Amino acid sequence: MEPTAHFTKTALPGIGARYDLDTQSGRHLSVVVHQDGRRVLGLHDPEDEDSCRDAAQLDPGESLALAGLLKPDPVRYLRQHVEIDLVTEHIPVTKRSPFAGRVLGATQARTKTGASIVAVLRRTDAVPSPTPDFRFAIGDVLVVVGTREGVDAVAELIAGG
């Protein structure tokens, strides 16, 4: 979602800055950002933008919480309106795995199961988006994304079942 509202900024020497927004409904809002991190949210009289009807002082934590509430979440919309049934699992490569010491491409995991190995965790490192020539080692943990059935099928494949 692209931002369409435009703020104006006014420097407030010794205090911080004031950001003003005129909404589509004709309301005038301002946020004064103090140098110490405090914010003051102001609601102005539509007839006189210099006349503040009400204000709420917010500390940095409150400002962050309010920002989280105000920020649109397009993924939430998708979750509510599109059925996405994906899971993520961590699957270990054990010494019993037929793929220990072999390359990712040999598993044909995506072709056989529809699930994807999106990363490999090795000791304290992570390898995101491993290529087909990535060689598995005993102790690797595969990060697999797919449907419940697909991820379970990858677990069975890697375990040698």
Report residue 43 as tokens.
């609601």
What letters, b where the CB count within 10 A reaches 16 and e where it falls short, cover 12-33? eeeebebebebeeeeebebbbb
* 2-51 pLDDT tens trace: 556 678 888 999 998 888 888 888 788 888 988 888 899 888 876 777 78
Residue 16 CA to residue 46 CA, distance in Å, equals: 24
Q: Which domain holds residue 146?
A: 87-159
Total structural domains in the chain?
Answer: 2
Q: Assess if residue 2 is contained within a domain.
A: no
> Where does a domain end: 17, 47, 74?
74
**pTM given for the model:** 0.50
Same domain, 32 and 91: no
> Where does a domain end: 74, 95, 111?
74
Q: Assess if residue 44 is contained within a domain.
A: yes
Q: Assess if residue 3 is contained within a domain.
A: no
pLDDT for residue 65 is more than 50: yes
* 93-141 pLDDT tens trace: 999 999 999 999 999 999 999 999 999 999 989 999 999 999 999 999 9
Which residues contact residue 84 at a Cβ distance below 8 angstroms, ignoring those fewer than 6 apart? Answer: 78
Same domain, 68 and 120: no
What is the SS3 assignment for 28? strand
